């Protein structure tokens, strides 16, 4: 086993660990277009109230 094989193995394990750790966070933040639009409308409404009030 050469040094390159060793580093390749380490890199693959780190990537797999990072992906496994990040996957639940990304699954929770996925929104449908309708949800994103409703959130955007709500944020714009809040900003309009703050500027007016």
pLDDT digits (tens, 9 = 90+) for 11-41: 998 888 888 777 766 666 667 778 878 888 8
**pTM (2 decimals)?**
0.39
pLDDT at 10: 92
pLDDT at 28: 64
pLDDT at 26: 62
pLDDT beyond 80 at 6: yes
Question: What is the rounded CA–CA span in Å between residue 52 and residue 46?
Answer: 10
Other residues' Cβ atoms within 10 Å of the Cβ of residue 46: 10
């Amino acid at each position: 086993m050469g040094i390159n094989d060793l580093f390749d193995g380490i890199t693959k394990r780190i990537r797999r660990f990072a992906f496994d750790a990040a996957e639940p966070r990304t699954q929770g933040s996925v929104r449908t277009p309708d949800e994103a639009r409703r959130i955007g409308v709500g944020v714009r409404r809040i900003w309009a109230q703050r500027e007016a009030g």
